């Protein structure tokens, strides 16, 4: 039994070592990838639930890995956080978005609004507002998607100050993943966002579950009474889209319409199908 115990111990140690080495390798690759500009921005469209017009896009980061192909954020965001480079990635995405917006304008494609995800780290960055001011962001065309947990931590005051100044720069605020985690109606009142995005965990079951349907209906009603627009995420079928429209949801985003697409594919699709 003793020998087995030792073996098991060795087994765990070896596993742990392998994990640490692999984590370290990914971390090194990630930093090199940033240097080599392997991080790219993909776009997923959002549509008006009633008129079906293209109202905007969400920018989503992807890692164009030299060996593993396109990697979604779940493969690297955690490591990026550990390395303290999420703010840098957010910044790279925002710069790309501003460039891509100009390219769309030159091509005659009107994309009313681009939403970018902003990590909690970045929102707490003392230099954020200065950086944003230097970027010359066109007013009322960019919005920041923030997760609610941002407003519950101990550095809430820095985030709050930043938020006021971000709004003053003409950047809209959206609450992301609403309805999960530490949801509070209070954060809606405090933050006065332009929009809230109803989490796909709530959206996906609405066809079959009366509970989620009632919850989504209430969220939409509350938002509406506060003058806040609603976006449903994870709209996977046209049945979902129809029901959400019936429930009064303003904007729809999901695989029923399109997956996130690289710049060229998005632009082609948008010019052919989503604009008139």
Q: Which residues bind Ca ion (CB under 5 A)?
A: 117, 145, 176-177, 233
Which residue bears the tokens 């697409």?
A: 261
Spatial separation of the C-alpha atoms in residues 123 and 132, rounded to whole Å:
12
Q: CA-CA distance, 97 to 110, in Å (whole number)?
A: 14
Say which entry of ligand C2E, Ca ion, none residue 30 contacts (CB below 5 to 8 A, set by partner kind). Answer: none
* Cα–Cα distance, 236 to 213 (Å, whole number): 15
φ and ψ at residue 83, rounded to 5 degrees: -85, -5
Q: Which of 234, 241, 244, 274 binds ligand C2E (CB under 6 A)?
A: 234
Site for ligand C2E in 1-40 (CB under 6 A): none
Q: Kindly tell me which residue out of 137, 200, 249, 261 binds ligand C2E, with binding defined by CB under 6 A.
A: 200
Burial 197-230 (b: 16+ CB within 10 A, else e): bbbbebbbbbeeeeebbebbbebbeebeeeebbb
State the binding partner of 91 from Ca ion, ligand C2E, none, CB within 5 to 8 A by kind. Answer: none
Q: Does 72 bind ligand C2E (CB under 6 A)?
A: yes
What's the rounded Cα separation, in Å, for the pair 231 and 235?
Answer: 10
Structure tokens belonging to residue 72? 């979604």
- Specify the DSSP element, H or E, that contains 181: none
Question: Measured from the CB of residue 39, what is the shortest distance to ligand C2E in angstroms?
Answer: 9
Q: Give min distance, CB of 94 to ligand C2E, in A.
A: 8
Nearer to Ca ion, 29 or 232 (CB): 232
Closest approach, Cβ 103 to ligand C2E, in A, equals 19
Phi then psi dihedrals of residue 252, to 5 deg: -125, 140
Which residue's entry shows tokens 């429930």? 247
Q: Is 54 among the residues that bind ligand C2E (CB under 6 A)?
A: no
Distance CA 138, CA 151 (A): 26
For residue 44, state whether it binds ligand C2E (rule: CB under 6 A).
Answer: yes
DSSP 148: G
The smaller minimum CB distance to ligand C2E, of residues 121 and 224, is found at: 121
Q: What's the closest the beta carbon of residue 266 comes to ligand C2E, in angstroms? A: 13
User: Considering only 27-35, 85-93, 167-175, 185-193, which stretch makes contact with ligand C2E by CB under 6 A?
Assistant: 85-93
Binding site residues, ligand C2E, CB under 6 A: 44, 60-61, 72-74, 77, 86, 89-90, 93, 117, 119, 145, 176-177, 200, 233-236, 254-255, 260
């Amino acid at each position: 039994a003793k020998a087995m115990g030792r073996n098991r111990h060795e087994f765990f140690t070896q596993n742990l070592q392998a994990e640490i080495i692999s984590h370290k390798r990914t971390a090194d690759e990630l930093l090199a990838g940033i240097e080599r500009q392997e991080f790219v921005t993909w776009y997923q469209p959002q549509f008006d639930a009633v008129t079906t017009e293209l109202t905007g896009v969400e920018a989503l980061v992807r890692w164009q890995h030299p060996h593993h192909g396109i990697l979604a954020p779940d493969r690297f965001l955690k490591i990026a956080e550990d390395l303290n480079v999420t703010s840098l990635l957010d910044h790279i995405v925002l710069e790309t978005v501003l460039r891509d917006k100009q390219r769309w304008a030159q091509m005659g494609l009107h994309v009313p609004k681009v939403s970018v995800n902003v990590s909690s780290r970045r929102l707490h960055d003392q230099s954020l507002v200065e950086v944003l001011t230097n970027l010359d962001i066109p007013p009322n065309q960019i919005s920041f998607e923030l997760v609610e947990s941002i407003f519950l931590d101990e550095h809430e005051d820095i985030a709050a100050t930043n938020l006021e100044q971000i709004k003053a720069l003409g950047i809209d605020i959206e609450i992301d993943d609403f309805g999960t985690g530490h949801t509070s109606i209070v954060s809606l009142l405090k933050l006065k966002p332009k929009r809230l995005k109803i989490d796909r965990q709530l959206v996906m079951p609405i066809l079959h579950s009366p509970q989620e349907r009632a919850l989504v209906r209430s969220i939409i009603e509350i938002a509406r009474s506060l003058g806040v627009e609603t976006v449903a995420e994870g709209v996977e079928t046209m049945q979902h889209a129809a029901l959400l429209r019936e429930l009064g949801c303003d904007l729809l985003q999901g695989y029923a319409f399109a997956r996130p697409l690289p710049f060229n594919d998005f632009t082609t699709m948008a010019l052919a199908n989503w604009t008139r």
